[in-house]
Amino acid sequence: MGHRRTLIAAAAVILAAVSGIGVYFYVSSADQRAQRNVSLVEAFVASSSIPKGTSGENAVQNGLITTARVLRGTIPPDAVTDTSALRGRVAASTIGTKQFITAESFVAPSQASGGSLAGAISDKGLVAVTVSVDAAHGVAYAIAPGDHVDLAVIDPTTGNASYILQTVPVLAVGQQQPSSGGSAGQQPSAQASASGLITFEVSVPDALKVVTASKAGNLYLTLHALSASSPSAAVPASGR
């Protein structure tokens, strides 16, 4: 009987020791996981806002995607670890500054809804409208994406000019849009400028004014100084 009690006591001691070891390893493992999650690692993020429809190649080449040191525990499971995975893909939606680049950030062009120009329109109540102007009517082809212009027409009866819209943002020249993160006034390519095609962002009613003036062939553009072409002034003015 005494021998049996001795065995039971020994077994209890062994179980307690094993439990203690188990607890130790669990706590140690938890500490390691916690330290791992708060350690700093590098991840790919957007250095500035990336418009919807921007190709992965352009985003990388223009420095719109960069690495940042972040807490390991904050990185999404599907974070991109190699920018070569973005080749042949486009931004599915506008990617905000410092947002992680994940597998869902860029998709195949066939999966993207809408183009980059549609993604560049700042409000659902606004539309893009394009006019064709020559050098004399379009400030000697010196207008660039991101600029702001006033639209003037000449009354064929009196010969007097008047503005129909003011402080209108230029979305594109030819098919060239402003590079994300760049400043207004970056000159487009010679080919884009020579096309004479200028795309504006205006309200739906103002788009009809632009179309009417363009069809009449008496539309002139005047260019704002860069200091006046700030985002806060990017709301199309109503006609006078």
The CATH number linked to 80 is: 3.90.1210.10
Look at residue 23 and tell me if it is in a domain. Answer: no
Burial class (CB in 10 A: 0-12, 13-18, 19+), 121: middle
Into how many domains does the chain fold?
2
Look at residue 66 and tell me if it is in a domain. Answer: yes
pLDDT tens, per residue, the chain with 240 residues? 555 565 555 555 555 554 555 544 444 554 555 555 568 899 999 998 888 788 899 899 889 999 999 998 899 999 999 999 999 888 888 898 899 999 999 988 777 666 667 777 888 889 999 999 999 999 999 999 999 999 999 998 999 999 999 999 999 999 888 754 444 556 888 888 899 999 999 999 999 999 999 998 889 999 999 865 554 433 444 444
Q: What is the pLDDT of residue 24?
A: 46
Domain residues for 169?
122-233
One domain, residues 111 and 126? no
One domain, residues 101 and 198? no
Q: What is the pLDDT of residue 175?
A: 84
> What are the CA-CA distances from residue 164 to residues 52, 214, 236 (Å)?
31, 12, 10
Q: What is the pLDDT of residue 233?
A: 38
One domain, residues 102 and 149? no
**DSSP-assigned beta bridge partners for residue 71:** 40
Look at residue 15 and tell me if it is in a domain. Answer: no
For residue 162, give the nearest of 175, 178, 151, 149 by alpha carbon: 151
Q: What is the pLDDT of residue 120?
A: 76
Q: Which of 116, 147, 176 is the last residue of a domain?
A: 116
| Tokens found for residue 4 | 């049996």
One domain, residues 109 and 162? no
Q: Which of 67, 88, 116 is the last residue of a domain?
A: 116
